[in-house]
Structure 1
């Protein structure tokens, strides 16, 4: 275990699987104490973090609910006494449907978790990070926050919103010692992409065809970018939306 983030505390929402899991492990590898936040606890994730010698706790949380998010941050402070970094990653893809067929239920669920959830997390994280005089937040958007994607209107709108919200918060927090950035993953091999493709050969080829590099990205590749954006190596980077993909092509 490295000591880059020694004695620092990081929250990772959506941390039980996929990109969140890889990022929680990356923070642990760098020496941070990690708060894994999700709907469901993954014992494998927690054990892997502990195997790295890092302190960790799991907190069950629905990021679209104020009381859950407030309790998440309170439990973090109660356990570790501080908060230095947050990767607000929890999200859902919602149901595929063209704009006129998108249901209000799907819209509210997707926007509630993907966009309202980011806002709620920052609302309660920022005051605690300010107390440390220095820290960083990375919010997870998507390349779908930079381009359109037919059939996913709520998802695309939510991810565009995350970028605008993050840039606004970055301006507000720049004098407070907090850097806020956004990571915009391309098509990454995660449970979410498995649901979207149904693991069918035709769908997989369609999605990989969007990536000129010719393959899905790996969760670890996003995790590395997130940890870098939180590190002192990125001390001059704030309000930036970083696309981490293989040269995504979309109309």
Structure 2
């Protein structure tokens, strides 16, 4: 298939949380759609396995080990993208952290801070360094992972609900600020998805699985690649008039 027929042909994309789940699925999909991908996460061995899989399929992948909550790590990842591939066109800021529905008054400050650091400061750090790189390129597209919990209380912890609301706020603010300069910014309102993080939550609280599936009109959870497909579309030209949106990818959970 010619490069111009691919959704992300010739693009350079940065993906966070890329060692497993939605991020790993996005890495594979973005590469298959023609992008050179910069894979960022904390777990080097897992990242390298994803990168090797992409390379074996004829794609291009760069490993950037780091924590999105640490600004210097994000800065190094963006710099590596530009150094290795010449520019940065799009980003999928997907790294996140969720805890089970601990009652607000029982949650300790350390867990609250960690939830905010990964989910909010992580997106903030990424936007701060990705946007300047895209402005140098003349524009770009960014997708941030929020959640159904970004629109309403879902039974997740209060910290997680607050953090995912904040992701949508950051998305809208950035879209408004940079829209006339060619940078589009959108968020995914993700429903329950069978990721490694979800599996850990279900191991702790197995009774949640039936409830999570019941929330969707389709009465099931998403697979990671179903979420990644929407991120890829938002990063490409086929969504050129979409910005500042909180796009539901939730099996209809927010429709009822």
Q: TM-score of the superposition, structure 1-length normalised?
A: 0.95
Matches within 5 A, 1:1-251: 3=3, 4=6, 5-41=8-44, 42=46, 43-198=48-203, 202-248=207-253
Q: Please, which moves more after superposition, 87-96 or 167-176?
A: 87-96
Distance 2:220 2:156 in 1: 22
Which deviates more, 141-150 or 108-117? 141-150
How many residue pairs get matched? Answer: 251
Deviations 1:31-61 (A, max 9, x none): 1100000000314311221123111111111
Cα distance change of structure 1 residues 85 and 239 upon mapping to structure 2, 3 Å threshold = same
Structure 1 CA distance for aligned equivalents of residues 125 and 169 of structure 2? 15
| Distance in 2 of aligned mates of 1:149 and 1:250 | 14
C-alpha distance 111-199 of structure 1, shift in aligned 2 (>3 A) = closer
Q: CA RMSD in A?
A: 1.8
SS in 2 for 1:70: helix
Q: What is the distance in 1 between the residues matched to 2:133 and 2:231?
A: 20
Does 20-29 or 205-214 show the bigger shift? 205-214
Determine helix, strand or coil for the equivalent of 2:207.
Answer: helix
Please report how far the alpha carbon of residue 224 of structure 1 lies from its aligned counterpart in structure 2 after TM superposition. Answer: 0.6
Distance between the aligned counterparts of 2:173 and 2:2, measured in 1? Answer: 33
Query: Is the alpha carbon distance of 1:249 and 1:32 closer, same or farther for their aligned partners in structure 2, counting shifts above 3 Å?
Result: closer
TM-score under structure 2 normalisation? 0.93
C-alpha contact 2:175 2:243 (8 A) present in aligned 1 = yes
Q: Is the 8 A contact 1:141 1:182 kept in 2?
A: yes
Give yes or no for contact 1:212–1:249 (8 Å, CA) kept in 2: no
Instruction: For structure 1, list consecutive stretches of 5 or more residues without a partner in the other structure.
Output: none
Indicate the SS of the match to 1:141: strand
Q: CA deviation at 1:68?
A: 1.1
SS at match of 1:64: coil
Moved more, 147-156 or 183-192: 147-156
| Contact 2:99 2:156 (8 Å CA) reproduced | no
- Structure 1 range deviating more: 76-85 or 232-241: 76-85
Q: Distance in 1 between matches of 2:76 and 2:43?
A: 16
